[in-house]
């Protein structure tokens, strides 16, 4: 494609333990795949990670008890730290965050409460609120809401294809965002 394209992997890309092959194919096609990296296109900076589950707010999983629970929470913390590192590297006027998992509960609802912990983590929201982020896009929550905001007021957009097909049945399942870049 001639348009600069940036992506993050999602849970399906890891399903068959072939994520390295997926990254290779995408990068050979000219797509920048972010996993804790910062990528700049002109004056727009992009920071991306897959993210992970763990839940939101007071209901987020805590790292105690069985080793497997601690490992699950550690993955969520590590993804948030990678996102923070990527955001800290950007020196652009606009910062866009790309995630697979949701950083806020609002774009996960009305998914069943029982699966919220597997759809995202508020740990991802912390670095988003700490830096001047212009907007966030994520997928994964197929029955969630199309839009929300972090507690710091950053717009968050759920761009899951099943959700976009349901919410915008008269359009193709994608969103276009305009970022005003000074001339």
State yes or no: pLDDT of 123 exceeds 60: yes
Indicate the DSSP class of residue 124: G
Name the β-bridge partners of 148.
156
Q: Does the structure show a pLDDT above 70 at 1?
A: no
The residue-averaged pLDDT of 87-96 equals 96
Instruction: Look at residue 42 and give its three-state secondary structure.
Output: coil
pLDDT of residue 103: 98
Q: Is residue 24 part of a domain?
A: yes
Residue 20 lies in a domain: yes
179 in any annotated domain: no
126 has a pLDDT exceeding 90: yes
In a domain, 175, yes or no: no
* Sign of the CA dihedral running 136, 6, 118, 60: negative
- Inter-residue contact 171 to 159 (CB < 8 Å): no
Residue 97 has what pLDDT?
A: 98
Strand pairing class (5-7; 31-33): parallel
Mean pLDDT for 103-118 is 96
Predicted local distance difference test score (pLDDT) of residue 183? 57
User: Would you say residue 31 lies in a domain?
Assistant: yes
Alpha-carbon distance of 153 to 160, in angstroms, equals 21
Q: Decide if pLDDT at 58 tops 60.
A: yes
Domain span holding position 135: 5-167
- Supply the mean pLDDT for the chain: 95
Which tokens go with 94? Answer: 């606009």
pLDDT for 93-106, tens place per residue?
999 999 999 999 99
Determine, yes or no, domain membership for 23. Answer: yes
Q: Identify whether 142 is part of a domain.
A: yes
Asked whether 148 and 104 are in contact (CB, 8 A), the reply is yes
Please report whether residue 103 resides in a domain.
Answer: yes
Q: What are the b/e assignments for 125-142, b being 16+ CB within 10 Å? A: bbbbeebebbebbbbbbe
Our count of domains for the chain comes to 1
Percentages helix, strand, coil for the chain (3-state, rounded to 5) are 35, 20, 45
Both tokens of 136, joined, read 């966030």
Higher pLDDT, 183 or 173: 173
Query: Phi and psi of 80, rounded to 5°?
Result: -65, -40
Please give the pLDDT value at position 179: 84
Please tell me the distance from the alpha carbon of residue 23 to that of residue 45, in angstroms, as a whole number. 20
- Quick one: pLDDT at residue 181? 61
């Amino acid at each position: 494609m001639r348009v600069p394209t940036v992506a993050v992997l999602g849970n399906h890309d890891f399903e068959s333990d072939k994520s390295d092959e997926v990254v290779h194919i995408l990068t050979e096609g000219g797509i920048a795949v972010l996993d804790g990296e910062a990528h700049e296109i002109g004056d727009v900076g992009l920071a991306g990670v897959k993210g992970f589950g763990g839940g939101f707010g007071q209901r987020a999983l805590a790292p105690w008890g069985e080793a497997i629970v601690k490992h699950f929470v550690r993955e969520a913390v590590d993804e948030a730290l990678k996102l923070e590192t990527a955001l800290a590297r950007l020196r652009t006027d606009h910062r866009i965050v790309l995630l697979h998992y949701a950083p806020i509960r609002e774009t996960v609802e009305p998914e069943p409460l029982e699966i919220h912990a597997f759809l995202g983590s508020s740990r991802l929201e912390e670095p988003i609120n700490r830096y001047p982020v212009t907007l966030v896009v994520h997928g994964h929550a197929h029955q969630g809401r199309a839009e929300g905001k972090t507690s710091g007021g950053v717009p968050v957009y759920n761009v899951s294809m099943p959700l976009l097909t349901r919410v915008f049945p008269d359009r193709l399942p994608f969103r276009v965002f305009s970022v005003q870049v000074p001339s």
